[in-house]
Chains A and B, each alone.
Chain A
Amino acid sequence: MSATTITPAPRIQGGTILRGLLLAGLAILAMLPVLNRLPPESVLYVSDFVVAVSGKWICYGILALAIDLAWGYAGILSLGHGAFFALGGYAMGMHLMRLIGPRGVYGHPVLPDFMVFLGYTELPWPWWGFSSFPYAMLMALLVPGALAGIVGWLAFRSRITGVYLSIITQAMTYALMLAFFRNDMGFGGNNGFTDFKELLGVPLNTAGARAALFYAALVALGVSLLLCRLVTQSKLGRVLVAVRDAESRVRFLGYNTTSVKLSVFVLSAMLAGLAGALYVPLIGIINPGEFSPGNSIEAVIWVAVGGRGTLVGALLGAFSVNALKTWLTSFAPDLWLFVLGGLFVAVTLFLPRGLVGLLRKGEGR
């Protein structure tokens, strides 16, 4: 047979337009903190504000990748990714709170302020170890991962799929939100954590620290993108697509779909946790509002708008919807909800493959 040239075709025939868009976008992002250092008179000057906003979008981009991996590739529509994101954020927030140390208003060497005035006398056990940065980062990944592992194992094992899974994960998010709003949980209740001082020995309220955090987020985005690409281009990625389209058929092929789905769900939750951990020092506050079920759904719609099942689409969606939101909430706050709601409707009805689908049409895939 001479047909030895037959090789598996690349999964993402990422059109040149898309790949160019992705690279250009990343390059522009990488330039922002540099442009921020220019004198304000310069045409290219970028304000602190833009840097801060873009930093957040980067975190949202990682979250979108995580959702896309689970939903776009494996067909797991989780409405709980906002919760994984928030858990990662809380882990980082706990570390930042521990680092405040005696600089709190009560000057207690160990206890955060809110614990002091709520009458705690010693640090609750969930807080142990969070003074260490590696431990906190580990927790930011492990806690969402473990939660996803438990919920996923219970659900996938019982063959709970589709909307049932969505409803269950939404209930999980809702229960977590209620739990974190409780002051008795020892996580600061409604106020959450704020007034952070430093990270890794660097004061947070300096331009340099902000730029460093920005680059950390950008690097994390790059790493996440590569990781997701690794997964989706591997045979595992093809198994995921197969599970998404015909799960029971995959089972009859001898794949244990429970473990396949579970592994990607856990990985996805950990990525969301990573995004949350980067988000918190960038914006300086974490509170239970991040658990609200609406946030998770909103993040899903970023992916739908961009185009699920493609990594570029997830990023494109996260950035474009958030840019639209930033713009609209400033200039027409009343209209924003109509536009966002309209997006949900329009994308599901007319653009099932999102913006990427639209861009690809020209390329005749």
Chain B
Amino acid sequence: MTARFQLSRRALLAGTAGALAMPAIRPAFAQGAPIKVGVLHSLSGTMAISETALRDTVLMMVENINAKGGLLGRKVEAVVVDPASNWPLFAEKARELLQVHKVDVTFGCWTSVSRKSVLPVFEELNGLLFYPVQYEGEEQSKNVFYTGAAPNQQAIPAVEYLMSEDGGGAKRIALLGTDYVYPRTTNRILRAFLNSKGIADADIMEEYTPFGHSDWQGIVSRVKRFAGEGKKTAIVSTINGDANVPFYRELGNQGIKAEDIPSVAFSVGEEELAGIDTKPLVGHLAAWNYFMSVPGAPNDEFKKMWHAYIKNDKRVTNDPMEATYTGFAMWAQAVTQAKTTAVDAVRTAMYGQKVMAPSGYEEQMWENHHLSKPVMIGEIQGDGQFNIVYKTPTAIKAENWSPFIPENASRRRG
């Protein structure tokens, strides 16, 4: 209830700290003027838990690129503002970044609602936004590059895994989610997908709970009952943030073991597990496009860079951080190729850019403004890390307009 109290609603003239020192008007195209990168992540309020790490990732990338001599021979400068987990404030801060600070590109947003709230601003002022979080799809703006997963790059492969022999051969699926657009849309897509795989509606259970739901007794016992119908059952969880701890606690306490009823989550990563005793959860699954435990040189380099920047070896990396990293690297390549930071030129140059991502795969930006990404399934381990039990052989192209939503049929033909 206090979300808004933790947050600022607006800022009078400028964002935080250094960005302020600068006068509102300056010749933006002066020779050698720094290239400005806006950072639009909540540093206070409910989303700060997740978003501060992304701010740090962008700052790390800026520091890194400057150490290599900048971009186009110009210095890169980050402009950080705090939209404070307040959706109207996101739009206001976006306008501030574009109009007052005249940033060349912005990295930002976590929740879908924050992205939806800034979208009109970026379209009106022709800005460029990199959005690094998995989301429900059903969107494609020429002013946004989506570097997180679309549903076909996360949810569908995860369910396929659950239905495979390795995943336990689930024949009945409980779709549990927090009541907002991402779970609703994802579950709608999943239901259509499951139906197409011959799983009847009677074998699908769908339940939604409010944000921060803490009393999971009833739902978990209903899942247990649902599982008692003689078919292998699995849980697909789109439960958001805070509600996961009591949910997993209840699973553990009601004796639901991953071997009996495995659950796969799409919103639980290394950061979220940091606050939980994971021992009772060993074997439950999460699906992402990156795990900190991915082996290989690109990831080792990423982790090393992160630990050096944040000066703390204990800090974890996670999927949205990786998506931010990849997006930034790609943008830098596109700017180099276009030899300008002008939005239209960079946009064109972005198409077809490839980057060797920390996930260990070469990821490519397609003209649908989404990345191709590998899908990985990890089992939770006792130490809060993930044991990768499945990976797609190659990166998968995003279907941001899901073929399982009938209204998209015409779009796909056209």
Residue numbers of A with Cβ under 8 A of B are 40-41, 47-50, 52-53, 56, 105-106, 108, 113-114, 116-119, 174, 177-178, 181-183, 189-192, 194-196, 205, 283-285, 287, 289, 292-295, 298, 322-323, 325-331, 333-334, 336-337, 340
Contact = CB atoms under 8 A, between A and B. Distances in A.
Contacts of A334: 44
A183 B87 contact: no
A58 to B, nearest CB: 14
Contact of A205 (B1, B84, B124, B180): B124
B92 interface: yes
Contacts of A116: 407
B9 interface: yes
A323 to B, nearest CB: 8
B300 interface: no
Contacts of A113: 138
B12 A183 contact: no
**Cβ-closest 3 pairs across A and B:** A329-B8, A330-B11, A190-B180
9 contacts: A48-B99, A49-B96, A49-B99, A105-B139, A106-B408, A182-B210, A284-B91, A327-B11, A333-B8
Q: Is the interface of A mostly helix, strand, loop or mixed?
A: helix
Nearest to B411: A106
Contact of B211 (A181, A195, A283, A284): A181
Contact of A53 (B12, B16, B181): B12
Contacts of A292: 1-4
A285 B88 contact: yes
B14 interface: yes
Interface in B1-56: 1-16, 24-25, 43-44
B347 interface: no
Nearest to A289: B3
Contact of A189 (B6, B8, B180): B180
A337 B5 contact: yes
Central interface residue in A177, A189, A190, by most chain B CB within 10 Å = A190
Contact of B407 (A117, A328, A329, A333): A117
B8 A326 contact: yes
Given A47-B100, A49-B92, A105-B139, A183 B15 contact: no
Interface in B144-191: 179-181, 184-185, 188
Given A105-B140, A295-B4, 4 more contacts: A50-B13, A191-B180, A289-B4, A330-B15
Contacts of B180: 181, 183, 189-191
A331 to B, nearest CB: 8
A183 B25 CA distance: 44
A73 B404 CA distance: 57
B194 interface: no
B95 interface: yes
A284 B117 contact: yes
A285 B188 contact: no
Contacts of A48: 95, 99
B380 interface: no
Given A105-B139, A182-B179, A292-B2, A333 B43 contact: yes
A117 B100 contact: no
Contact of B9 (A117, A174, A329): A329
B405 interface: yes
Contacts of B6: 337
A294 to B, nearest CB: 4
Contacts of B361: none
B113 A191 contact: yes
A180 to B, nearest CB: 11
Nearest to A192: B113
Given A117-B405, A298-B4, A189 B120 contact: no
Contacts of B92: 49, 52-53, 283
A329 B11 contact: yes
B132 to A, nearest CB: 19
A89 to B, nearest CB: 11
A333 B80 CA distance: 13
A205 B179 contact: no
Contacts of A287: 87, 113
Interface string B59-84: 00000000000000000000000101
A106 to B, nearest CB: 5
Nearest to A334: B44
Nearest to B120: A195
Contacts of B1: 174, 177, 292-294
Given A49-B92, A182-B179, A294 B24 contact: no
Contacts of A196: 120
A285 B88 CA distance: 6
Contacts of B116: 191, 194-195, 285
A216 B3 CA distance: 29
A216 B139 CA distance: 33
A56 B10 contact: yes
B188 A329 contact: no
Nearest to B402: A117
A114 B9 CA distance: 26
B113 A298 contact: no
A129 B150 CA distance: 36
A183 B95 contact: no
B112 interface: yes
Contact of A326 (B9, B44, B119, B188): B9
A191 B117 CA distance: 9
B390 interface: no
A194 B8 contact: no
Nearest to A188: B181
Contact of B14 (A41, A56, A330): A330
Given A330-B11, A330-B16, A333-B44, A49 B91 contact: no
Contacts of B210: 178, 181-182
A106 B5 contact: no
B4 to A, nearest CB: 6
Given A50-B12, A183-B184, A333-B44, A105 B138 contact: yes
A114 B185 CA distance: 9
A339 to B, nearest CB: 11
B119 A330 contact: no
Contacts of A191: 112-113, 116, 180-181
A178 to B, nearest CB: 6
B208 interface: yes
Contacts of B185: 117-118
B138 to A, nearest CB: 5
Nearest to B124: A205
A289 to B, nearest CB: 6
A190 B91 contact: no
Contacts of B88: 283-285
Contact of A328 (B3, B8, B112, B117): B8
